[in-house]
């Protein structure tokens, strides 16, 4: 029996998708991503999401709203760089072109893609 080591898992889910850029809906989507990260962390994995890394940088780059040039400079490129280094992607439900891209990039390099935390192998303790 082989031991399952902790995985670094990118959590990809809708951020802007389906929100019409409504700040409350975006915040709810972001919260769902963060909650999935916590669940994976509690299961023994290292969960990351591009939003929590990209948003502060976009602000420093001068972004004042979702979708402006500074936001676009950082937001999806951060996800692309992360997925290149992650062991797997957890794809949350909901329409999201960016999340679909992260799944494609993960699969292209042979990384695992999960659609539920229950699918992620348990960490040996």
For range 66-85, the mean pLDDT: 97
- Write phi, then psi, for 88 (nearest 5 degrees): -160, 170
**19-34 pLDDT, tens per residue?**
999 999 999 999 999 9
pTM of the model: 0.93
Check whether 52 has a pLDDT greater than 60.
yes
Confidence band, pLDDT 50/70/90 cuts, at residue 122: confident
Interior angle at CA 28, CA 14 and CA 115, nearest 5: 40
Instruction: Determine what percent of the chain is predicted with pLDDT higher than 70.
Output: 98
């Amino acid at each position: 029996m082989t031991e399952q080591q902790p995985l670094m898992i990118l959590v990809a889910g809708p951020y802007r998708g389906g929100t019409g850029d409504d700040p409350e809906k975006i915040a709810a989507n972001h919260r769902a991503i963060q909650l999935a990260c916590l669940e994976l962390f509690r299961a023994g994995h290292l969960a990351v999401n591009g939003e929590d890394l990209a948003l502060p940088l976009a602000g420093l780059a001068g972004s004042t709203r979702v979708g402006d040039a500074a936001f676009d400079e950082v937001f999806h490129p951060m996800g692309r760089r992360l997925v290149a280094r992650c062991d797997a992607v957890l794809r949350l439900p909901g329409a999201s072109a960016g999340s679909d891209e992260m799944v494609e990039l993960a699969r292209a390099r042979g990384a695992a893609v999960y659609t539920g935390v229950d699918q992620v192998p348990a960490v040996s303790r």
